[in-house]
Chain A
Amino acid sequence: MSDVIVQVDEGFKEYSRGAERVEVLKGVSLKIYRGEFVALIGPSGSGKTTLLNLIAGLDQPTRGRVVINGRDISRMSESELARWRTTAIGFVFQFYHLIPVLTAYENVELPLLLLNMSASRRRKQALNALGLVGLSHRLTHRPGQLSGGEQQRVGIARALVTDPALVVADEPTGDLDGRKKEEILDLLQQLQEGLNKTILMVTHDHTAASRAHRLLRISDGMLLEEHAETREEALALAFPDAKLRP
Chain B
Amino acid sequence: MLFKFINLVFKSLGRNKVRTALTGMGVIVLVAIYAIVTNVTSTVKSKISGGDQTRLIVSERWTMPSQIPSRYVSEIAKLPGVKNFTTWTIFVGFLDRIPQADRQVAVLSVHPQTLREMHGGLMDLPDEVYEEWLSTKDAVLVGPGMMKKMNWHIGQQFTVFGARFPPVDVQYRIIGTIPGGEWASAIFCRQDYLADASDNSGSVNAILLSVESEERAKQLASELSKEYENRQPALKIETESAGVARFASRSTAVLQIIDAVVAILLIDMVIILSNSISISVRERRVEMAVLKVLGFQPLHIAIMIIGEAMFVGGIAGMIGTGIVCSISTLTLSGAIPLAKWNSFLLQFPVPWSAVLWSGLLGAGVGLTGSVFPAMATRKVKVSDVFARIA
> Which residues of A come within 8 Å of B, CB atoms?
49-50, 53, 56, 58-59, 78-79, 82-87, 91, 93, 95, 97, 99-102, 106, 110-111, 113-114, 158, 170
Contacts and interface: CB of A to CB of B under 8 A. Distances in A.
Contacts of A106: 7, 11
Contacts of B12: 101
Contacts, number: 67
B293 interface: yes
Contacts of B287: 97, 99
Interface residues of B, number: 27
A170 B386 contact: yes
Interface string B282-309: 0000110011111111101000000000
Contact of A114 (B286, B290, B298, B300): B300
Chain A CB within 10 A, most for which of B14, B287, B293, B389 = B293
Contacts of A100: 15
Main SS class of interface, A: helix
Given A114-B296, A170-B386, 11 more contacts: A53-B382, A58-B383, A78-B298, A83-B295, A83-B297, A86-B294, A86-B295, A91-B293, A99-B290, A101-B14, A111-B294
Contacts of B296: 82, 114
Chain A to chain B: the 7 pairs with minimum beta-carbon distance, closest first: A86-B295, A101-B11, A97-B290, A113-B4, A59-B383, A111-B294, A85-B295
B257 interface: no
B253 interface: no
Contact of A102 (B11, B383, B386): B11
Interface string B1-38: 10011011001101100000000000000000000000
A141 to B, nearest CB: 14
Interface string B364-390: 000000000000000000110011011
A152 B247 CA distance: 73
22 contacts: A49-B387, A50-B383, A53-B383, A58-B293, A58-B383, A79-B297, A82-B296, A85-B294, A86-B294, A91-B294, A97-B287, A99-B11, A100-B15, A101-B11, A101-B14, A106-B7, A111-B294, A113-B1, A113-B5, A114-B295, A158-B294, A170-B386
Interface of B: 1, 4-5, 7-8, 11-12, 14-15, 286-287, 290-298, 300, 382-383, 386-387, 389-390
Contacts of A111: 294-295
Main SS class of interface, B: helix
A193 to B, nearest CB: 25
A59 B387 CA distance: 12
Contacts of A59: 382-383
B293 A85 contact: yes
B389 A95 contact: yes
Contacts of B8: 99, 102, 110, 113
A127 B113 CA distance: 78
Contacts of B382: 53, 58-59
Contacts of B7: 106
Given A58-B293, A79-B297, A95-B389, A101 B383 contact: no
Given A58-B383, A113-B5, A101 B15 contact: yes
Contacts of B290: 93, 97, 99
B292 A82 contact: yes
Nearest to A99: B287
Contacts of A99: 8, 11, 287, 290
A111 B293 CA distance: 10
A195 B268 CA distance: 56
